[in-house]
Amino acid sequence: MSSLYQPLQIKTLEVCGLAHALRAMRNPMMSHERASPDADLKLAAKLVRAGDEHAKAIRGVIAYFELQMQIGWMVEWDTYRVGVEVLSTSSTMHTDLKGMKGIELAEAKQANLPNVVYTQTAMASYQALRRIYFQRRHHRHPDWQCFCRWIESLPNFHYLIVPETSEWPINS
């Protein structure tokens, strides 16, 4: 029996907003004069460890990415709404099923669901990615493991996503 499963594929399009988020992080204490790349990342890690209400500035660090996935994982991915925005998803109606309508279209679309690989462009804040990472990193579905490995590849992962599990000291 051949497998219909096609693993999730993720492509990072852009990660942006880090400098603005780190500047915003210093507003409550008006400590902009102490800003430096190293000190700012250490302070951000400290705030992330303190909880979402203290780490709200990392909502401004945004990853844009493209997913290629099958419907089974797409339904699970749809669970995440806070801090995640889907910008667009591919559509078989405009390509493979062009010209069909009504019940014929609905039946053809339904029959083809297991075979379709959808492309979705999305964006997520680092705060949302941190929650997803901790909730899904040990999930038994291989696409969640793939997604978490992608999160691990993001810039400043150890400072902004998992500072409490990192092996380097954070003293600020």
Domain over 9-162 is classified CATH 3.30.1360.170: yes
Name the band, by pLDDT with cuts 50, 70 and 90, for residue 1.
very low
Tokens of 136: 């899904």
Can you tell me whether residue 68 is helix, strand or coil? strand
Distance CA 57, CA 38 (A): 17
Q: Which of 41-45, 78-82, 86-90, 142-146 has the lowest mean pLDDT?
A: 78-82
Residues 66-123 pLDDT 10s = 999 998 899 889 888 888 999 998 877 777 778 888 999 888 888 888 788 999 999 9
Distances (CA, A) of 156 to 56, 88, 99, 101: 16, 27, 47, 48
| Burial of 117 (C-beta count, 10 Å sphere; 0-12/13-18/19+) | middle
